[in-house]
Chain A
Amino acid sequence: MSCCHDFSRSQLLRSSVAQAGDGLPAIEFGMPTPAGTGMTRRAMLLGSAGMFLTVYGADKMGIDAFETGVAEAFAGPQGAVVVSIFLAGGIDGMSVLAPVYDTNYQSLRTSTRLDEAGTLAMNGSSDLRWHPQAQGLKDLHDAGKVTVFPAISYDQPNQSHFTSRHFYEVGALDPVASTGWMGRWLDLPGVGQENNPIQGLSLGGQLSPALATARVAVAAATSPSGYDFPSPGVYDNYVEAAMNGGFDQLGNPATDDPILRQARQAQRNAAQLRSQLATPLGSSPITYPANNGLANDLRSLVLLLKAGLPIRACAIEGNGGFDTHSAQNGSFGPNLQSNCLALKAYQEHLEAEGIADRVITFVWSEFGRRPEENDSNGTDHGAAGVGFLIGSKATGNTIGEFPTLDATGIDQNGNVRLTSDFRGVYCSVIEDWLNADAAMVIPGADQLPRYAVVQTT
């Protein structure tokens, strides 16, 4: 089993909040409200991408203004893109990059320990070795396209899935912050446009709190293939063809009546759109792993970027859950592998389309796990964990060392001490990649470290 009750409850609550939209009073007492709760939501169909969007924010604008906004941004210059991929549950960093030679690691971990044999060498490191099923990520790292954070966290780390994730999403240690770090970047004058919702795009149906804005519109997209009109008890090809023919015809008759004309126009548009949406974005020259949700989302993202859609920030949730309180070895490897293979195909796809130099991707989890195993062959919520910044413009550096698992590297609660601060990563990305003022986005930016995470030449 790889799931704890506490975590699944958090997911449920977040899900119900997101579904309910504005302020449904279903938030657990004491948990921070996810950023973006309370933003208005409106449905929109973006024909140029063949996507249903749920548009958040920019309440005063009409849906047609968003179509215009996307079209205008489409015609403008294409800017740098930042992508956030969240690995839910708190991934065990020392099982992704294992300190196999640390004797404390060997004694603290019994059932979940990785050894030199079977693990994969980490380029440039004499301490850490990749999990055997992290091959996809190792390949990217070997090619210099992954900046690694072996022990990323923040001061006084919180062990709640909900609270710690919230901190990462809002880019601040502030339980009541209501805008996300990428949302605040989009809100900056000259960055986001009020009427271009796909500049901040969540794939997966609900808005990521990291994208919650105060000023400009952002959006969540559902599957591009969702615009179909099935009927219960109709599946014979012959009948379906007749029904679809009727669907296409019902909007056609002319009428003098303005209201009926509007209804028929909408029907006509729907029929036209349905026919256009068969394969709106084409296909990928790279083969992605099959039955892999992250791979599907990343392929869609690359195709959307290739089509020139004005996306600046994107948030996606990775595959599987990493809340491995018990029997960690059962689920960890396959989940890690499915994410790593998706990431590798994604980077190759970006390169094949010639847009890799525009995109940087931050992979993170809400925390790492405690070095000392529990009695269920699993690990409990910890502090510093692993993070990655992926892209052809990443420096490929390792930011901070993985600490020795003794009193110098483990805090009073038995958790790994940080050697990099996620807010410093955000500041560095904002300054070096997005060319914006981190002080306008991340609270206390002047007090936070900066790291060489992307090439600045």
Chain B
Amino acid sequence: MLQVISLLLENKPGALMRVTGLLSQRGYNIESLTVARTLDPEISRMTIAVDVDSTQRQQVIKQMNKLINVLQATDLTDLPAVVRELVLVRIRMPQESRTAVLKEAEIFGGRIVDSSTEGFAIEATGDPEKLGEFIDVMRSYGEIEVTRSGALAIGLEAKKLRLQPPVPTKTKMEEITY
């Protein structure tokens, strides 16, 4: 099944590699992954959709939480959350289909971002499944090329970010002796 995970991670070199490496190391298939900075430039937000056996969902979250750069890992699969995706479609179709394509795009809330004699570039956002349907419909009109952003998610219930306080070092403090 598809598990949607929202991660807050420290914006440190290699942090992304740790997350993707962990997923492949443990045999979980990444369906999509998006990452960008949050309001705090030191922290990134990552949304990952993983294809994983439902019995393994908790284990994925626990393994994520073990990564030192991960501040919080939340399984949004069963929580109230909004999941959205952006898709860009470039379509080439016969002249006579232009109006129909425009209509269909409108039904799906798509926006024309480029228009030429050959066709359109259309931008649409929405629920990933809905976008799948949009793509299918567009395909029926002509030759298309598609770029999807991958799922972006936000939980609808506030979850407190619990950070660990600094730990005093226990190292020996005497002055250098050489």
Judge: A and B partners, yes or no. Answer: no
Point out residues on A near B: beta carbons under 8 Å.
none
Which residues of B approach A to under 8 Å, CB–CB? none
